[in-house]
Structure 1
Amino acid sequence: MRFYVNNFCYLSAENKTMLSDERHCFDKSDLPKLDWVSPIQRRRLSAFTKMALHCASEVNSERANCPVVFSSRHGDLHKTASLLDSLALKESLSPTGFSMSVHNATAGLFSILTNNQAASNTVSAGKESLLMALVDAYAKLKSDNLDQVLVVHCDQALPIEYLGYQDEKQIDHCLAMLISKSIATGEELTIERSEKKPLNEDALLPHGIMIGQFLRSKNSRCLLQGRHNNWSVKALT
C-alpha cells in the first residue's frame, strides 16, 4: 500500500506514571476538553470517546464531509465491563451506557456531532486492528475514487479484570490520520507485509503507539509484529 498522510493527531499516556496494576492511563484532568461539544453531551462521554473525538476533530478541523474508518481492538471495554458488572449484580442497565458501548458508537457520534454525512465503518481485528483499518481505507481510496479518508484508532489500557489476557503493553492511546492517494501537504508512506520474525521488545507496544511515535519522530522505517506476519511502514518523503 502507498498513500499520503496529510495530517495526523496522536495522544498517548505512555509517559504517565505506571499504575500498580501495570497500566498507563490518562487522569480525568488529562483528557481533551472538547469545547466544541455541548456540555450536556460532554457529560455522557467516556474517556475512550473523548480521545477518539478529539483526535478525529483535530485532523478534520474544517469539518469536511469525509469518509471515516474507525478502529479499536477492544472498543470502549471499560463501559462494557461496567455493564457486565451491573448484570452480575442483577441491576438494571443504563440505556445510554448500553447504546454507547457498541463498537461503532463513537463513529456514529462523530458523524452526528460534526454533521459528517459520508460513509463510516468500524474495524476490529485484534492486535492488527489499525493496520486492517488502513487496508480498508486504502481500498476505499482506490476503488471509490475518493480524495481522502479519515482513519481513527483508539484503545485504552485494559480494565483490571482483563489484565490476565494482555499480550502487549497497556497504554491509553489514540491516533487519527487523514490519508489520500495523491500528494497534498503530507508525507508519503508505504506499508508492506513480510515474513514473521522476532522483533525487539518495542513489538510489545500497541501498533497505534508505534505508528504514532513513527510519525512524530520522522524516522524512515517502523517495524510491526502481527499475529501471522510482520509489517514494514516506510516514509518515502
Structure 2
Amino acid sequence: MNYSLAVLDWHALAPGLSTSEDWNQWALLSADQAFKGEIAKSQRIPMMSARRMSPVSRIAVESSLALIEKYQFDRAVFTSRHGELERTYKILQTLAQQQQVSPTDFSMSVHNTAAGWLTIAAKNTLPVTSLAAGSDSFQQGLLEARAMLSVDGVNTVLLVDFDGCVPDIYAPNQNSQYAPYCVALVLTKGDTSTCHLIQEAKTSPMPQSLQFLRHYLLKDNDFIIAADDYSWQWQCENNTRD
C-alpha cells in the first residue's frame, strides 16, 4: 500500500504547548518527555460553547478553527482512539450510583462530538468523517483523507487527530503521558510526503500524530510511524514551514 500527499500547514495543542515555538522546542526533547502545564484557554470558541465541551473536544475544535481561519477546506476527517471516553466513564459512574444521567453528558458522549462542534462553532457545513481505529487511528485517517482528495473538486482536507486522558480505571492498559493532545494538518494533493506499509512490528507510547509531527518539525526525510502489527514508512521532502 502506497500513497502520497502534501502537508501545507499544521496546528497543535497540548498541556504547556500552544505556539509553533513551543512545539519546535518539544520536538527537540527526548521522545519520552511527558506533557506538563496547562492547556491554553480557547481564543476562538464562544464561552458558552466552550463550557459545554469536554477538554479534548475543546482543543480539537480550537485547533481546527485556527486553520479554518486561513484555509478553505472541502472535507474534514476527525480521528481519535478514545473519543469522549472521559464523559462516557462519567455516565457509567452515574448509572452505577443509580442517579439520573445529565442530558448534556449523554448527548455529548458520542465519538463524533468534536466534529459536530466544529461545524457549529465555524458555522461551516463541510462534510466531516469521524474515525476510530485503535492505535492506528491517525494513519487510517490519512488514508481516508487521501481517498477524499481523489474525488473531483476536493483539493484540501483538514485532518484532526486528538485524544484525552484515559480514566484511572483503565490506566494499567494505557499510557496517558501524552494526553490530552490535538494535532491538526492541512492536506492537499502532492508527492512531497509518501507513505507505504511495511511488515515491521514496532511500538511506541507516543500517539501516531505526535510521532509524525515530531519528525515533521525535525525535518526528517525518512522515518517510521509505529503500529501494532506493522508500521508505516514515510519519505518526506524537507519542509521549511514552522
Distance 2:156 2:93 in 1: 41
Partner of 1:19: none
1:137 aligned residue: 145
- The alpha-carbon deviation at position 26 of structure 1 amounts to 6.3
Per-residue CA deviations over 1:132-175 (Å, capped at 9, x if unaligned) read: 00000000001344110000000123111101222x55411210
Quote the offset at 1:111 in angstroms: 0.7
SS at match of 1:43: helix
Identity percentage of aligned residues: 25
Matched, 1:111 2:124: no
Can you list the C-alpha shifts for 1:34-82, whole angstroms capped at 9, x where unaligned? 2332222121121101110121112222363531100000002111111
Match of 1:49 among 51, 57, 60: 57
**Distance in 2 of aligned mates of 1:141 and 1:121:** 14
- Superposition pairs for residues 13-32 of structure 1, below 5 Å? 13=15, 24=34, 30-32=38-40
Q: In structure 2, what is the equivalent of residue 153 of structure 1?
A: 161
Q: Which residue of 1 aligns with 2:199?
A: 195
The CA distance in 1 between the partners of 2:107 and 2:64, in whole Å, is 20
The size of the alignment, in residue pairs, is 220
The whole-number CA distance in structure 2 between the counterparts of 1:130 and 1:10 is 14
Which amino acid letter does the alignment assign opposite residue 63 of structure 2?
Answer: C
Cα distance change of structure 1 residues 69 and 213 upon mapping to structure 2, 3 Å threshold: same
**Deviation at residue 190 of structure 1 after TM alignment:** 1.1
Quote how far apart the aligned CAs of 1:14 are: 8.7
The 2-side partners of 1:31 and 1:169 are apart by 15
**C-alpha separation in 1, matches of 2:209 and 2:70:** 24
In the TM superposition, residue 195 of structure 1 has moved relative to its aligned partner by 1.0
For residue 104 of structure 2, what is the amino acid of its counterpart? Answer: T
> C-alpha distance in 1, partners of 2:235/2:16?
23
Q: Residues 56-67 of structure 1: matches in 2 within 5 Å?
A: 56-62=64-70, 64-67=72-75
CA contact (8 A) 2:5 2:189 kept: yes
Superposition RMSD in Å = 2.2
Please state whether the residue corresponding to 2:223 is helix, strand or coil: strand
Partner residue, 1:204:
205
Q: Residue 23 of structure 2 corresponds to which residue in structure 1?
A: none
Kept in 1: contact 2:78–2:129 (CA 8 A): yes
- Alpha-carbon spacing, 1:95–1:89, altered in 2? closer, same or farther (3 Å): same
Whole-angstrom distance in 2 between the partners of 1:63 and 1:98: 33
**2-structure distance, mates of 1:154, 1:26:** 17
* TM-score, normalisation: structure 2: 0.83
Following the alignment from structure 1 to structure 2, what is the Cα–Cα distance between the partners of residues 71 and 32?
Answer: 21
Calculate the TM-score normalised by the size of structure 1. 0.85
Deviations 1:93-148 (A, max 9, x none): 11111111100011011011112212111000000000000000000001344110
User: 1-side partners of 2:132 and 2:39: how far apart?
Assistant: 24
Structure 2 residue aligned with 1:94, among 77, 90, 102? 102
Pair 1:69-2:77 in alignment:
yes
Shift of 1:3: 0.7
In structure 2, stretches of 5+ residues that fail to align are 18-32
